[in-house]
Chain A
Amino acid sequence: MSQGLFVAQRLSALVLGPLVLVHLGLIMVAIRGGLSAEEILGRTQGSIGWALFYGAFVVAAAVHAPIGLRNILREWTRLRPRAVDLISLGFGAFLLVAGLRAVVAVIGGPA
């Protein structure tokens, strides 16, 4: 793995670590508190804070996961390096688009 990818993976992990913990804590609070979907959306829609939180989450995941996938494909399959890079880039783009779409759906829309 090149130094650039190594650094990108480590720094994105640095960002993801606390975000994942907060996200998991949030799920537990929401479930234990018995919040309905409407109540959750009521808190998230229009919130710049949650938009930044989950926006950063999605971007960090879209950087981190494809690098790990690239390592796995390089080490465990006989795919050509070019194909591995394209698959990993495609996977990263999918995570980014799908994740940001979800963020828009949770943060935007009618209150």
Chain B
Amino acid sequence: MTASTGTLTVEIWRGRDDGGLQSYAVPARDNQTVLDVVTEVQRRHAPDLAYRFACRVGVCGSCAMTVNGVPRWTCRTHVSKVAGEGRLRIEPLRNMPRIKDLACDMTPFFEKWEAAGGVFEGTVTRDAPLAAVSPESPERRAADAGIECINCGVCYAACDVVGWDEDYLGPAALNRAWTLVNDVRHRSRAETISAATGVGGCGSCHSQGNCMRYCPVGLAPAESIAGLKRRSLRDSVLGRLLGWAS
């Protein structure tokens, strides 16, 4: 453990919707993440503190929380970069039902992920040879741009439209749909386009860009949604005029 260099004042949301912030004093260390702080509070002050984490290295997408008002992946967020004047306020993610303390119910998030046509359906069995997809093809490039999503829910929590419109599928689900629309191995591309451009789909996005601003892995769901919007217009207008649809 690194050396202690003072004290952090950490306010953590306790309880469910009708809960409140509770303050804890935690040693500030030279090298410490927000997840380290939450873990320290749970180990030393509040054994009943509920929060979620798994990999601790920015891969699993489990530990996202609201830190000083901003949705972040806590395992890769260093306290020194976000704790103004030694203060941290840690709350659960926005736009998701709260379970307890810092743990959210991500069921609606993943239900919308499926509703946007995000489940891959292959055309061959696992015994078939690997599909040859040129890394230079426009479709592969478009899919590559969004494929590294870790489903942490940060974009979903950052999106105002998700909070306003309960039908809206959200940035992560639509980003996933766009990667599948551009996956030549996906059998149900037309169904995915239909799901992602229907009610609550890409047309509901206001292009505010909070998803791009806060995505911890630097993806641009708004660009994926813009791609879906273009495809939606192309298919609905040109498709009807020229019989051209995906």
A interface, CB within 8 angstroms of B:
1-7, 9-11, 71, 74-76
- Show 13 residue pairs from A and B whose CB-CB distance is below 8 angstroms, ordered by the A residue: A1-B199, A1-B203, A2-B198, A2-B199, A3-B201, A6-B197, A6-B229, A7-B232, A7-B233, A7-B236, A11-B237, A75-B161, A75-B164
Q: How far is the CB of B44 from chain A (nearest CB, A)?
A: 43
| B165 in contact with A3 (CB, 8 Å) | no
Q: How far is the CB of A74 from chain B (nearest CB, A)?
A: 6
Hey, which chain A residues are within 8 Å of B237, CB to CB? Answer: 7, 11
Hey, which chain B residues are within 8 Å of A7, CB to CB? Answer: 232-233, 236-237
Q: Nearest 8 CB-CB pairs, A to B?
A: A6-B203, A75-B164, A1-B203, A7-B236, A3-B197, A1-B204, A2-B199, A75-B165
Identity of the chain A residue whose Cβ is nearest the Cβ of B164 in the assembled complex? A75
How far, in angstroms, from A98 to B237 measured CA to CA in the complex? 29
Main secondary structure of the interface of A (DSSP, over half): helix
| B232 in contact with A3 (CB, 8 Å) | yes
- Among the interface residues A1, A2, A7, A11, which one has the most CB atoms of the partner chain B within 10 A? A1
How far, in angstroms, from A3 to B237 measured CA to CA in the complex? 11
| Total count of chain B residues near the partner, CB < 8 A | 16
| B161 in contact with A3 (CB, 8 Å) | no
Contact pattern, B 179-221, Cβ under 8 Å of A = 1, otherwise 0: 0000000000000000001111111100000000000000000
Hey, which chain A residues are within 8 Å of B202, CB to CB? Answer: 6
How far, in angstroms, from A94 to B161 measured CA to CA in the complex? 28
Q: How far is the CB of B76 from chain A (nearest CB, A)?
A: 32
Hey, which chain B residues are within 8 Å of A5, CB to CB? Answer: 203
How far, in angstroms, from A9 to B236 measured CA to CA in the complex? 13
| A3 in contact with B164 (CB, 8 Å) | no
How far, in angstroms, from A50 to B229 measured CA to CA in the complex? 33
Identity of the chain B residue whose Cβ is nearest the Cβ of A11 in the assembled complex? B237
Identity of the chain B residue whose Cβ is nearest the Cβ of A3 in the assembled complex? B197
> Which of A2, A74, A75, A76 contacts B203 (CB under 8 A)?
A2
How far, in angstroms, from A9 to B204 measured CA to CA in the complex? 12
How far, in angstroms, from A11 to B203 measured CA to CA in the complex? 13
- Among the interface residues A7, A9, A11, which one has the most CB atoms of the partner chain B within 10 A? A7
How far, in angstroms, from A6 to B201 measured CA to CA in the complex? 10
With A2-B203, A74-B165, A76-B164 as contacts: A10 and B233 at CB distance below 8 Å: yes
Hey, which chain A residues are within 8 Å of B229, CB to CB? Answer: 6, 10
